[in-house]
Amino acid sequence: MPSVTRKPLAKRENARQQRREQMERRLLDATERLMSDGASFTELSVDRLSSEAGISRASFYIYFEDKGHLLRRLAGQVFADLADSADRWWRVAGRHDPEDVREAMTALVASYRRHQSVLVALNEMAAYDAVVGATYRNLLTAITGRLARVIENGQADGSIRPTLVAATTASALTWMVERTCQQNLPGEPGSYDAALATTLAEIIWNTLYLKTAC
């Protein structure tokens, strides 16, 4: 006989997950606002973050152990946005159209620009917080895995160079984009982004595909 408590428990768990996601989004927006005004993540107190997000300090600690835990959760949201940007190419890669790669890189650079403050904080904390560092690497590894599958599929249909090792190539291209955006965007104006996206797209296309872009 099914448990009479299973459905109510599931509903409560779903409601709690929704509240957590709403809290994370509010804290992500608050963190990015504060850091865009010049604050360093390491200098931001839980009180200030909570106040900016419009929540209580007690509510913060219901969902997060500390700022490091918050940052790891925010990293997941940011990298989901980055993957969604790249997916503009990945989901239609079978068309073999260089314009799809350019559109994906344009969206990805825009995502890096939008989440720049959190990504800077991740890099800062990854240097001395092993858990944050591992989270950052794992998120990039997940993106690398998805790109590797695109490469393997392209090799199978004859559009991508068969001599490339998919996993190695995917890792190199993922880290190239990550490092280029991390190092260059903070010091450049928004007008730089279109040229960067076009350059990244051309490098990726010419590295992978047998057909030259028109």
pLDDT tens sequence for the chain (214 residues): 555 556 677 777 787 778 878 877 888 788 888 887 777 888 888 999 899 989 888 888 888 888 888 888 888 888 888 899 999 999 999 999 999 999 999 999 999 998 888 888 888 888 888 888 888 888 899 999 999 999 999 999 999 999 999 999 999 999 999 999 988 998 888 899 999 999 999 999 999 999 876 5
**H or E segment to which residue 139 belongs:** helix 130-156
Q: Do residue 97 and residue 174 come from a single domain?
A: yes
The SS3 call for residue 76 is: helix
Q: Which amino acid is at 213?
A: A
pLDDT of residue 27: 82
Q: How many domains does the chain have?
A: 2
CATH of the domain at 135: 1.10.357.10
pLDDT of residue 7: 67
Distance of CA 144 to the CA centre of its chain: 12
* Beta carbons of 33 and 52 less than 8 angstroms apart: yes
pLDDT of residue 214: 56
Q: What are the two backbone dihedrals, phi and then psi, of residue 160, each rounded to the nearest 5 degrees?
A: -110, 145
Q: Do residue 48 and residue 82 come from a single domain?
A: no
Quick count: other Cβ atoms within 10 Å of Cβ 125? 21
Q: Do residue 10 and residue 113 come from a single domain?
A: no
Inter-helix orientation angle 166-184/116-126, to 10°: 110
pLDDT of residue 110: 95
The SS3 call for residue 160 is: strand
Q: Which amino acid is at 33?
A: R
Q: Which amino acid is at 183?
A: Q
Q: Do residue 154 and residue 212 come from a single domain?
A: yes
Q: Do residue 113 and residue 165 come from a single domain?
A: yes
Q: Do residue 121 and residue 189 come from a single domain?
A: yes
* Beta carbons of 103 and 110 less than 8 angstroms apart: no
The SS3 call for residue 27 is: helix
Q: Do residue 96 and residue 185 come from a single domain?
A: yes
pTM (2 d.p.): 0.80
- The span from the CA of 191 to the CA of 194, in Å, is 7
Range of the domain at 152: 70-214
Q: Do residue 29 and residue 129 come from a single domain?
A: no
pLDDT of residue 139: 87
